[in-house]
Amino acid sequence: MSLIAVRPAAAFAEAGFRRWATYRQAAVAGVFVNTVFGVIKLSILLAVARSAGGSVAGYDPAALSTYAWVSQALIAVVMIFTDTELADRVRTGDIAVDLARPVDLQLSWLAADLGRAAWSLISRGIVPIAFGAAFFGFHVPSDPTSIALLVPSVVLAVVVSFALRFMLNLTAFWLTEVRGIVLLYVFCSGLLAGHLIPTQLFPGWLHTLAYATPFPAIVQTPIDLTTGLATGTQAAALVAAQVAWAIGLLAMGRVVLARATRRLVVQGG
Amino acid sequence: MAEVTSTSAAYLALVRSRVSAQASYRTSFAIELASQVLLIVVEFAEVYVVFHQVRSLGGFDFAEVALLYGLSVSAFGLADLAVGHVDRLPFYLRTGSFDAFMLRPLSALGQLVTSDFALRRLGRVLTGVVVLVIAVVAAHVTMTPAHLLLLVTTPIAGAVIFGSVFIATATIGFHVTEGMEFANAFTYGGSYLSSFPFTVFGRVIRRLFTFLVPVAFVAYLPALAILDRRDPLGLPTWLSWCGLPVSLIAVAAAIALWRNGLRHYVGAGS
Amino acid sequence: MSKTVPVAEGVIDVQELRREFVVRRNAGRLRRTRDVVAAVDGVTFRVTAGECVGYIGANGAGKSTTIKMLTGILVPTGGTVRVCGLEPVRERTSLARRIGVVFGQRSQLWWDLPLRESFRLLGAIHRLPDSRWQPRLAECVELLEMGPVLDTPVRQLSLGQRMRGEVSAALLHSPELLVLDEPTIGLDLLSKERLRAFLVRERAERGTTILLTTHDLPDIERLCDRILVVDAGRVAFDGTLPGLVSRVGAQRVLVVELTEPGPALTGVPGTTVTAVEADGLRQHLSFRAEETTAAAVIAAVSARVELRDLMVREPDIEDVVRRLYLG
């Protein structure tokens, strides 16, 4: 698969990292907000556990703390609230410039997004987790399979979320205003991904519904590997599901992009 | 007096122009209205999931937490509708639109507040009121005149409190260029937190969101009176009735912060 | 400098005006230095009623900073500023009712509303009865030929159309003072000329005082009877355009293209050859407007060689200003 060579991919990733690294004030503000929301979310979950007699759906207080802080750390990494940069480029017609470049549009944006995610993890992820671990406790994974799969799982979470956001942005080719559908995405991803509340707490029907979508793969799966709620073959199965979603959604994104490009060519933008 | 009427006529014209500008985008307006309703459904799903696991949270049952949620969402929805767009201040500052405000014979804050009137946010207010009404019935609230008075005035006082928080935190934009996310901790964070019983939170968070950012007065404290309960944490009962005066103090504080921010913008130091 | 003692207060009265900014720079990886820079550094001038003053200078000379202080957007660090007898920042809203401001790069119109609606809103904002702003607008619409675009949303207007809208918007409340910041920037020649003619008329009919910044020399020639040149935050020249040109000796340049190569065209009265290109096929002859005319130079040159093409280049503002500091 030489759609994108390794060197340009690394360059795109580095550019993505550097570009976002210029927003330092924003990163400080983001850490603060993530931490405040983390405290609120965790307080509610701990109260749930107290009412349930100490632990709930397999989560003890340390696991809940881990859940809360890893899910907060992942907000920016997997861009729960998405962005509309690509959609804006479609709307303004700048997309034509991107399409004219001698690199694959989807994979070059993916490379840049991985760079951005790396910066987000460093700048916005570490502090909330450290804060949470210091004040509320943290479950350090001990299962070798989970530990080995943790980093791949976070990368796959970014890839799956990218593939979804990529398609979401491409709807701008067909819709004049994407804000409505973006809001829809944010609400669904917030709940179904397990960002607001762990999927293990869902009633059966909602749990089934959530796991019929790719959303748990972008938040809940990396968390499950950290909290120790998924170990061994169970952890491997979850990561395998991430791989399947990543490949399937990226392929789907290519089909959508091809259709959008044809539309652009036919209608002249 | 003639001057006053005329100034309000100017603001009215501004708001009316914002409403008519939205009417020209009907489809996207409908989608956004629908997504505002969906937002409530998803948010409330969290409460629903919690009570799928347990029968009470911090000493409050499902209907009682729904009451908190209804009060909080109606108030936040109203504030968001009226002034939620003030967080666009950094954008106005960057593009120079704010200078256009400064060149007109009206208050810059007044113009910022009336620079948008996002009718789609009505979806949130209406859904909030529906949740509130259902919760009042489900929680078996005894309908005394006092309770009714609280039920009607609380969302208004709450909206004024949230509106003040929106304005106060938007002034961050005068001081730092990309720090607007800070505001979210108090606006959206305050809204999130106010829909749960304060008994759930630790002391630092409780004090912060009662005395510094007074969102305890949006739902939790008045709900105690509506439900005829005493505060398990020992706050005096009369605080439940302080929503309106607290909201006025919040407005005064927000305006003071705005003046300070504007002084910084015109370079008078702060 | 001759001192005139004015009886009435000027429309603009600026004394020893200063504005400092703190500039933070990255010095090395982690260190940041903090410098205080004076963008406006002791500017004094007065504009009396009915004058049209060109406020010129290179980018970064302090023009925009001064305009912000005149219009109440920025507080001076030192000195005093009074506009229409008011203190701009403290009495901002009162001042806003008496002045009109156009920033060439920024819009005061509502981009999502038809032009007509923007005017209606400004009428309401200035608390003007319909009987006051509507005739004024009708006049602007007629003179600036805006009739066909009144119902077009502002975002769909061309720059020229939008600019006419901006100027009309600034004049809707019949201000005593009109401040124009780069009003003709980016406009085509026709639009520029239409705008200038309109402003000339506005001044003649209503006696509106005008202060404008521009990079466009014809703007100054057509509109201004006085210019202030600022450089590095200070007034470097205050006088008329011919006065400035004669002081710096700004030169016009006749560029001629000959039918065949030849030697430098030296010796034409009142000129100096400043450039010879392509073996003499193209030559530049500089001359001073007060010593000879373009017609005389062309006649003298065409008596000696056969001309294929010619062009007269006027001194531009940057050139004049640059010479001011060199001389």
- Disruptive mutation site among B54, B174, B208 for chain A (greatest number of A CBs within 10 Å): B54
pLDDT at C1 over 70: no
Better pLDDT: C77 or C221 = C77
Cβ distance B21 to C110 less than 8 Å, yes or no, reads yes
Per the structure block, which two tokens stand in for A157?
Answer: 């979470």
Cα-based angle A126, A129, A131 (whole degrees, multiple of 5): 105
Question: Cβ B99–C103 below 8 Å, yes or no?
Answer: yes
- Nearest Cα neighbor of C183 from C155, C210, C154 is C210
Of residues A74, A67, A64, A73, the one with CA closest to residue A35: A73
Q: What pLDDT is attached to residue C18?
A: 93
**Residue-level pLDDT at C245:** 75
Per-residue model confidence (pLDDT) at position B173: 92
At C270-316, the pLDDT tens digits run: 888 888 888 888 888 888 777 788 888 888 888 888 888 888 887 76
Mean pLDDT over all residues of chain C?
87
Residue-wise pLDDT for C186-237, tens only, equals: 888 888 999 999 999 999 999 999 999 988 888 888 899 999 998 888 898 8
Residue A242, token pair as written in the block: 């991430």
Read off the pLDDT band of A73 (50, 70, 90): very high
Interchain CB contact of B181 with A (< 8 Å): yes
Q: Do chains B and C touch (3 or more CB pairs under 8 A)?
A: yes
- Tens digit of pLDDT at every position of chain B (270 positions): 445 558 888 888 888 888 887 766 666 677 777 777 888 888 889 999 999 999 999 999 999 999 999 999 999 999 999 999 999 999 899 888 899 999 999 999 999 999 888 887 888 899 899 999 999 999 999 999 999 999 999 999 999 999 999 999 999 999 988 778 899 999 999 999 999 999 999 999 999 999 999 999 999 999 999 999 988 888 899 999 999 999 999 999 999 999 999 999 998 754
Q: What is the pLDDT of residue A101?
A: 83
Quote the mean pLDDT of chain A. 90
8 Å CB contact of C94 and B103: no
Query: How far C7 CA sits from the closest chain B CA (Å)?
Result: 29
Q: Is B42's CB within 8 Å of A191's CB?
A: yes
Q: Give the phi and the psi of residue A255 in degrees, each rounded to 5.
A: -65, -45
DSSP H helices, A22-125, are 24-51, 61-77, 85-92, 95-100, 105-120
Q: What is the pLDDT of residue A1?
A: 43
B184–A51 C-beta distance less than 8 A = no
Mean pLDDT computed over C90-105: 91
Find chain B residues with C-beta within 8 A of A181's C-beta: 31
pLDDT 10s digits, A171-225: 998 887 787 788 888 878 889 999 999 999 999 999 999 999 999 999 999 999 9
Amino acid identity at C222? R
Which of C127, C132, C162, C177 is the best mutation test for B, with the most CBs of B within 10 A?
A: C127
Reported as type and span, the H/E element at residue C42 is: strand C31-47
Contact A188, B40 (CB under 8 A): no
Q: CB distance C72–B102 less than 8 Å?
A: yes
User: Range with the lowest mean pLDDT among A227-231, B109-113, C71-75, C251-255?
Assistant: C251-255
| Separation in Å, CA of B179 to nearest CA in chain C | 18
Q: What is the pLDDT, as a whole number, of residue A21? A: 72
What was the pLDDT predicted at B139?
95
Tell me how many degrees the CA angle B4-B5-B11 measures, rounded to the nearest 5: 90
Q: Are C234 and C42 in contact (CB under 8 A)?
A: yes
Specify the range with the lowest mean pLDDT, choosing from A157-166, C1-10, C98-107: C1-10
**Does C83 score more than 50 pLDDT?**
yes
A132-141, B34-43, C261-270, range with greatest mean pLDDT: A132-141
3-class state of residue C55 by DSSP = strand
pLDDT in tens, C99-139: 999 987 788 899 888 999 999 999 999 999 989 899 999 99
Task: Give the pLDDT of residue A14.
Answer: 82
| pLDDT (0 to 100) of residue B269 | 58
Neighboring chain A residues of B199 at a CB cutoff of 8 Å: 47
Q: Give residue for tokens 């004219």.
A: A100
Contacts of C230 (CB under 8 A, 6+ apart): C43, C55, C56, C57, C61, C62, C63, C66, C236
Name the residue facing C112 among B6, B21, B268 (closest C-beta). Answer: B21
Q: What is the pLDDT of residue B89?
A: 93
Q: Which of B32, B45, B192 sits opposite A183 (nearest CB)?
A: B32
What pLDDT score was predicted for residue B5? 58
Pairing label, strands C209-213, C177-181: parallel
Record: contact B53-A201, CB cut-off 8 A: yes
- Torsion angle of C-alpha atoms A186, B179, B158, B164, degrees rounded to 10: -150
Distance, CA of B133 to CA of B66 (rounded, Å): 10
ipTM confidence: 0.91
**Cα–Cα distance between B29 and B61 in angstroms, integer?**
36
